[in-house]
């Protein structure tokens, strides 16, 4: 199969032929139909987080099941599926308590003495986040995907596997926003826009979108934001506190930066909660004034939207089919696998919401 192979940080990926193994007892071979380019891919591409090299990036994808292992019961050949990086075992303490996104069981991967799922002559290829979606095929554990409605377009479905699941999940599962509550969302990229959309679906009374780019703020309005703040124009925290007469009940940081994470905590009202959704660089230390710890203000993280993706993903598909979840507007362009490096640079510029690789282009 063809794949975009990542060999060195900040160096263009190369399109190469890679061999994929046959499905093991609980594995599924998927023909990749669409894959979104996510900011998390860019973090690893730039060397901000470690990954074994060579590797194939990509973790936001949809496709069609081609083969299944002998013990697979959840999907069958021909099923349309969305993949998710938070593969789960189903029986560890995290799984049985409903926190599937926190499972770290090695059962969803191949063992050290087994043939790697991906390889080239004379070298093995590291599978990225249990998926490696920038390739024509994916070989994954059966608990790394879920079957979806066949009427769902593949390019829209792919977005559900990471960015949309992360943004909406932070609203529904982590922050648990309730009707009428006040919300501020910092960062209006794909995840932030999905969080805004999720807050609107949840019935938030006021949704304040914060970004430095005017085009993204206008997109945020279309996704459900009631108020817009351009972060380049004055003190963001002071403006939020003033316009809400004391601060918001929920602040969601969707960028992954130290200053904005601290601002999210500072703009809370009494009893409010800040949820850090963005991927903050390893080793970063947050500084919180003890004054803001008074009156039960709190800060928490959201990993992959605290998802239970076998339940959440079909629900998101239904929201889209009911015209409640905005996915069409998230897609800025469709590209081919050969255009992957330009797609990464387009993402870095901050001008686009999402580029989606279509494998039939």
Instruction: Give the active site residues.
Output: 38, 40, 43, 59, 162
Q: How far apart are CA 81 and CA 326, in angstroms?
A: 19
What is the Cα–Cα distance from 199 to 317, expressed in whole angstroms?
Answer: 17
Q: Beta strand pairing status for 80-83 and 145-147?
A: antiparallel
CA dist 180 → 205, 240, 298 (Å): 4, 17, 20
Q: Give the HSE-up count for residue 180: Cα atoms under 13 Å, Cβ half-sphere.
A: 0
Token pair in block for residue 311: 């339940």
The answer to whether residues 184 and 253 touch, using CB atoms and an 8 Å cutoff, is no
Quick one: DSSP state of residue 155? H
Which pair of structure tokens corresponds to residue 66? 């081609």
- Other beta carbons less than 10 A from residue 77's beta carbon: 11
Return d(Cα 95, Cα 204) in angstroms, integer.
30
Q: How many Å separate Cα 137 from the centre of its chain?
A: 20
> Is residue 206 within 8 Å of residue 178, measured between CB atoms?
no
d(CA 110, CA 305): 26
Distance from C-alpha of 22 to C-alpha of 360, rounded to nearest angstrom? 23
């Amino acid at each position: 199969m063809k794949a975009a192979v990542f060999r060195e940080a900040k160096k263009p990926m190369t399109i190469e032929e890679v061999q994929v193994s046959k499905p093991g007892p609980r594995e599924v071979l998927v023909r990749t139909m669409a894959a979104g380019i996510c900011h998390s891919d860019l973090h690893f591409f730039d060397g901000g987080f470690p990954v074994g090299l060579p590797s194939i990036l990509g973790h936001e994808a949809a496709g069609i099941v081609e083969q299944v292992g002998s013990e697979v019961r959840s999907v069958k050949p021909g099923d349309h599926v969305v993949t998710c990086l938070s593969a789960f075992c189903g029986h560890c303490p995290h799984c049985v308590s409903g926190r599937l996104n926190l499972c770290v069981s090695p059962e969803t991967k191949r063992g050290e003495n087994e043939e790697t799922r991906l390889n080239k002559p004379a070298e093995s290829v590291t599978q990225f986040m249990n998926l490696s979606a920038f390739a024509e095929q994916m070989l994954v554990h059966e608990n790394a995907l879920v079957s979806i409605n066949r009427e769902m377009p593949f390019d829209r479905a792919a977005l559900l596997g990471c960015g949309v699941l992360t943004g909406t999940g932070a609203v529904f599962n982590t922050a648990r926003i309730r009707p009428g509550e006040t919300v501020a969302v910092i960062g209006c990229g794909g995840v932030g826009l999905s969080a805004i959309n999720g807050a609107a679906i949840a019935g938030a009374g006021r949704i304040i979108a914060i970004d430095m780019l005017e085009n993204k703020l206008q997109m945020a309005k279309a996704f459900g934001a009631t108020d817009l703040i351009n972060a380049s124009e004055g003190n963001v925290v002071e403006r939020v506190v003033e316009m809400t007469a004391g601060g918001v009940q929920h602040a969601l940081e969707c960028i992954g930066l130290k200053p904005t994470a601290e601002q999210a905590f500072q703009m809370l009202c009494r009893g409010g909660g800040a949820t850090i959704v963005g991927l903050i660089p390893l080793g970063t230390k947050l500084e919180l004034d003890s004054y803001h710890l008074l009156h039960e203000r709190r800060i928490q993280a959201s990993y992959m939207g605290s998802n239970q993706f076998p339940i959440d993903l079909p629900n998101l598909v239904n929201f889209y089919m009911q015209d409640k979840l905005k996915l069409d507007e998230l897609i800025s362009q469709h590209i081919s696998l050969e255009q992957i490096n330009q797609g990464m640079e387009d993402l870095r510029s901050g001008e686009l919401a999402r580029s989606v690789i279509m494998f039939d282009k």
